[in-house]
Each structure stands twice: as C-alpha cells, then as structure tokens.
Amino acid sequence: QMDVSNPFNFNFIQNLKSIDVNNFDDSGPSVVFASPGMLQSGVSRQLFDRWATDPKNGVLIAGYAVEHTLAKEIMNQPKEVVTLEGRRQALNCLVDYVSFSAHVDFVQNRSFITQVDPKHIILVHGQKDEMGRLKSALLLQHRQLPENKRPSITMPPNLQEVKLKFARRRSAKVMGTLADRDEEPSEGEPVKGIMVTHNFSSKIVSPEDLSTYTPLRIGSVSSKLHVPFAGSIQTLHLFLNEMFMGVTQVDSDDGLNGGGASIFDLMNGQIKVTVGKERGVATVEWEASPANDVIADAVVALIMHSQ
C-alpha cells in the first residue's frame, strides 16, 4: 500500500545519499540541490567546478552568502574562477540569487530588540551593508531617548574582541547581634562579620550567629607539635623575648618526675610553649590560622636554635 500511496515517493525526484561527482550521469537536464551553500567545499563545489564552464548550466544561490566565499564571489559575475585543484577556468554558466533565509527579517529583529530593551546591542553574522542599515535604523529609533538610557550599538568585524562591563548593585542584610543596636549606623561605617550568599540573597552575621541564621557552623583546628629540646629553660626564654614582645612565663610543679615545668604564652595567648612535662620535648600549641601557623613556625625554629 505504501508503494502506491506514499506521498514522498516522487517519480522525478530522488535523494542521493552519496554521489561520485566524477561518475555522475549529467547527460540530461537535471536540478541538483547541494550543500554547502557557500560553495567552499563538498558536493556543491565539486559540481560547480564541473559545470561552471558550460553556458547551458546555471547556479542559483539561495539565501545569504558570506563575504570572501566563492558563492559571494560569483555573484559579482567574474570572468574566471579558481577550482578546488587550484586551476583557473572560465565562468560561463548563469549565476543568479534568490532570497531565502530561515532567519528573521529587519522588522522582526527591530521588534524583538524593542521588547527586550537591552543595554548593549552587538550586530554579527550578517551582510555588512544590511547590518549597517539595521544599525542606522536602531540609532535613529533610540535617538529620542536620553543619552544615558540609549543602548550601545556596535557592529564589530570578524575576529575583533568585544568587551562589555556590567555594573551590578549588590546588597546584603545585616542580621542578628550586628543589627541589634540602639542607634542607626552612619553611611560608610564598616561592618565586620561573615557574608553568606544563597540563591542570590546575601546576609551578614557575626560568627556567633552563623548557626542561627544559616545552616553553616564554625569550626576550629587546634594544632600541637612536639619539638625535640635538650636546652635550658632560661636560654629558651631569652630567645623568645628577643623575637616576640609580651612573652609571659608561668612555672608549675607538675613537671616530669615531680620537677618543674614552664609554660610560655606568646601573642596574647595565641601560641603556647610548654617545657619540662616531657623529657627532651618542648610542646608548641596554637589555634590554626594563616597568621598563627607562620608564628608557630618561627617559634619552632627558635626552639631548635636555643639548644
């Protein structure tokens, strides 16, 4: 039944899934729809090279032809063309053009741009003259607007880099104890806290309120390092005082074998050095942070040089 009523079973039209151009039977009249349309390569270019010298043949360019392609070149009716093999041959066939495009036209483009109302318009992928007409029409259309509300309209050539800057105003809500104050904050007053952004919404909270207003929690890492030490406590104290200010020493009786032990506090208690609780070992303890890690490294170096 399909052989009889198939609407796509044409008597004089056939689909050439593959074609050998050199052995193609073109002894009778025929019309071939071939791609690519720019005639740069492929079946269309091979057939064109074969048929271009015969005045009985013709080429119909359907739609837009890109600059510097063979399709654009032959629309200017040159006397000669260059084949894929690099040979020059006469162009005797008929060349014509028909407007056929799957793209929107000028009116549709202008209507779309008007509805979107963009801040920047960049015109690409079109014939230079036609894009120039569209650019002129858009400039004329937006001329009645104030200058600060007119969109920028550019028509860059191929390979030219285009950079756009988008300024976005960002805001964040101050919440929790940071917002619990009697007087209004003054303009430009700094706010110290943690900014958390989720789904394009930002809030600033103090570290203590982080678990209340966000699903985040604050953690800390305590570091403890055992450093071999066989020197005297007095020498270590001297080295630490030479390097750091405000070093405090606390002595205790809970040292090894009932002896004395000394604890040195540095940088307001951020670094603690304990000597005497373990034989031949000085213990360095601190809350890990970029700054404290650097100071702890310096303390370890002092311990190693003080013995």
Looking at the chain, how many residues does it have? 307
CB neighbours of 206 closer than 8 A, spacing ≥ 6?
176, 177, 178, 193, 194
* φ/ψ of residue 301, rounded to 5: -65, -40
Q: How far apart are CA 282 and CA 303, in angstroms?
A: 8
φ/ψ of 149, rounded to 5, equals: -110, 0
Find the angle CA(169)-CA(174)-CA(176) to the nearest 5 degrees.
165
Locate 110 and state its tokens: 């202008």
Catalytic residue among 68, 103, 120, 198: 103
Exposed / middle / buried, residue 278 (Cβ in 10 Å: 0-12, 13-18, 19+) = middle
CB contact set of 16 (below 8 Å; sequence gap of 6+): none
- The two structure tokens encoding residue 282: 């000085």
**CA pair distance 292, 48, nearest whole angstrom:** 76
At which residue do the structure tokens 């890109």 appear? 66
Give the Cα separation of 298 and 142 in Å (integer).
66
One-letter amino acid of 216: L
Q: Would you say 79 and 90 are in contact if contact means Cβ atoms under 8 Å apart? A: yes
Q: Is the dihedral of CA 5, 8, 9, 12 positive or negative?
A: positive
SS3 158: coil
Query: Is 237 assigned a catalytic role?
Result: no
Smallest CA-to-CA distance from 125 within 65, 74, 75 is with 65
Active-site amino acid positions: 103
